[in-house]
Structure 1
Amino acid sequence: MAVNGPDRVLIVDDHSLVRDGLRSIFDDAFPSCTILEADSLEAALNTLEQEGDVDLVLLDLNIPDVSHLSGLEALRDRFPATPVVMVSGVTDRKVVRDALAAGAAGFVPKSLKRAAILDALNQVLSGEIYMPELEGDDSAAAEEDAIRSRIDSLTPQQRVVLGHLVAGRLNKQIAYELDVSMTTVKAHVSAILQKMNVFSRTQAVIMAGKIGFKG
């Protein structure tokens, strides 16, 4: 899968060997990408505050200063437009589904081979949600559950606007239909993209289409 490479990525893991391994994947696939590193959630938050936006955060599920998904939740709260991919040796189905429902852009097991990890990251960079294949699990159903959870996080007005996006209407048409300003529509669209963890209207429409959302 060919996608535009990321400009900057933050790797958050308390094990230097894991960070080195993930860094080498980016060095090989995206040699111009700048890699930032942090060994704790606190360091990660400080790095993002100081360095500004990044295209992707790779976050270990188990680092010393987080509990369960608290690290993901903190990053999603402070930097809602930044996709966060969980990277973990844990592949429990409930943990994976909980992470995706909480807004993770993907869940990558550390046991995957390099090529599979790169494919997973490419899927996320192209706006998809990456869900690993787990024994006895229905990945498609889990992805749909995650999408529904994200759409459920929208306000009623945002859901209405998303319905108009799905119908293919432009901002000026939505503004006319809802009798609101273009500025208001743009604000709603921006919030929708952030909450759905996508970067374009097209990606939001595709995601909504996967569960048959019409508004």
Structure 2
Amino acid sequence: MSILVIDQHPLMREAVGALICRLSPTINVLELDRFAAVSPTTQAHARPELICLELSSPDARGIPGVRQLRRQFPDSPIVVLTAESAQEYEKLCVEAGANAFIPKSA
């Protein structure tokens, strides 16, 4: 099983990855700092069973990034873990294909 964690902040990527590995040490966590790394990474590994992403990224921002991932991985759950406002983005993310929206302030 592989999980993509996409976040431009190394500390956040590492924290989310460590939490996932603590829950199940057999999970392969692929930590990426930008959307452009998704295709090369997934070509080298199995299709991700779960995608966890931050909306703010240097190369793909917000809702278009969620849509792109949904098209690319129609069966993989997408969790948006973001510093962006839930009031402003939660509904838009779900409409774009995210399965869950978790504000980092939670």
Which TM-score applies when normalising by structure 2? 0.91
Larger radius of gyration: 1
Corresponding residue for residue 14 of structure 1 = 8
How many residue pairs get aligned? The number is: 106
The equivalent position to 1:75 in structure 2, one of 69, 79, 97, is 69
Over 3 Å off, 4+ runs: none
Asked whether the 8 Å contact 1:37–1:44 carries over to 2, the reply is no
Asked whether the 8 Å contact 2:2–2:46 carries over to 1, the reply is no
Corresponding residue for residue 103 of structure 2 = 109
Unaligned runs of 5+ residues in structure 1 are 1-6, 113-215
Shift of residue 29, structure 1, vs aligned partner: 1.2
Shift of residue 45, structure 1, vs aligned partner: 2.5
Shift of residue 109, structure 1, vs aligned partner: 1.4
Corresponding residue for residue 43 of structure 2 = 49
Q: Which letter does structure 1 place at the counterpart of 2:38?
A: A
Question: C-alpha distance in 1, partners of 2:68/2:23?
Answer: 29
The DSSP-based 3-state class of the residue aligned with 1:64 is coil
Q: Cα RMSD over matched residues?
A: 1.3
Unaligned runs of 5+ residues in structure 2 are none
Question: Which structure has the higher relative contact order (CA within 8 Å, separation 6+)?
Answer: 2
After superposition, give the CA deviation of every residue in 1:91-150 in whole Å (9 maximum; x if it has no partner): 2323110001111011111223xxxxxxxxxxxxxxxxxxxxxxxxxxxxxxxxxxxxxx
Asked whether the 8 Å contact 1:45–1:75 carries over to 2, the reply is no
Question: C-alpha distance in 1, partners of 2:39/2:70?
Answer: 11
Aligned-residue sequence identity (percent) comes to 28
The equivalent position to 2:23 in structure 1, one of 29, 35, 39, is 29
Which TM-score applies when normalising by structure 1? 0.47
In terms of fraction of residues, the more helix-rich structure is 1
The DSSP-based 3-state class of the residue aligned with 1:52 is coil
In terms of fraction of residues, the more strand-rich structure is 2
Q: Which letter does structure 2 place at the counterpart of 1:31?
A: P
Please state if 1:60 is matched with 2:62.
no
Question: C-alpha distance in 2, partners of 1:8/1:92?
Answer: 27
Asked whether the 8 Å contact 1:11–1:36 carries over to 2, the reply is yes
